[in-house]
Amino acid sequence: MPASTSTYISGRWDLRGLRKRPQAIAWADATELTNDNYFIPSGNEWEDFIILSDHNRSEIDISSQRIENKQRMINGTMRSYHIADKNKFSFSWEMLPSRAYSSTPEYSAGGKLTNSPEIFTVDGGAGGVELVDWYNNHPGPFYMLVAYDRYDIFPSGSVQYQHLAQYNIVHQVFFSSFEKSVRRRAGLNFDFWNVSVSLEEV
């Protein structure tokens, strides 16, 4: 499997002629900053990172926990010593294929499939077994790359609005919970699973 580069990731997102925006989430052992100043997962796909499928995925729920010390002053006003804001993430899949492909996929350096396995998830992103494997191998922290519209985190100006085709937010997270159920056995190729995950920012 070729190492991840901006060319590989860009080509991988375009799998099966889908839109150029990336799947919403990727999990990675490490990330790197490209020459264009945006983050991509580093290493080899399926070994060092996985791209999560948007196949029947629910909304991404994000809640913030403000870490602070609040104290009422003698004059009756409130004073707060703000330390940090930490996020919690939760999302799930309904009827997610248990595997992404019928056999091991092989990609070119440009992120295009070079062999012809049958693709079971709509976008070639991780299926249920790949999610379980990642969970089992990551009792500690890892990186979650998230792609949704946050133009406000970039410097102001016209290019501030040109980052939808990128993973623009990176969080180091732990698993809070991971649940799966076998919803339906679909025959000889794969099963349908329901999977739900919760993650908490380090």
Q: CA angle 179-26-146, nearest 5°?
A: 100
Cβ within 8 Å of residue 68, ≥6 positions away:
80, 81, 82, 83
33 C-beta neighbours (distance < 10 Å), count: 11
Task: Specify if 1 maps to a domain.
Answer: no
Residue 39 forms part of a structural domain: yes
Encode pLDDT of 90-127 as tens digits: 999 999 999 999 999 999 998 888 999 999 999 999 99
Alpha helices in 64-127 (DSSP H): none
> Considering its fold, how many domains does the chain have in total?
1
Please state the pTM of the whole predicted model: 0.89
Query: What pLDDT, on the 0 to 100 scale, is given for residue 33?
Result: 86
Highest mean pLDDT out of 2-16, 36-50, 170-184: 170-184
Across 145-161, b (16+ Cβ under 10 Å) vs e yields bbbeeeeeebeeeeeee
Average pLDDT over residues 150-169: 83
Domain that includes residue 122, residue range: 6-67+79-201
Cα–Cα distance measured from residue 116 to residue 105, given in angstroms and rounded to the nearest whole number: 8
Residue 170 lies inside a defined structural domain of this protein? yes
pLDDT in tens, 191-202: 999 999 999 999
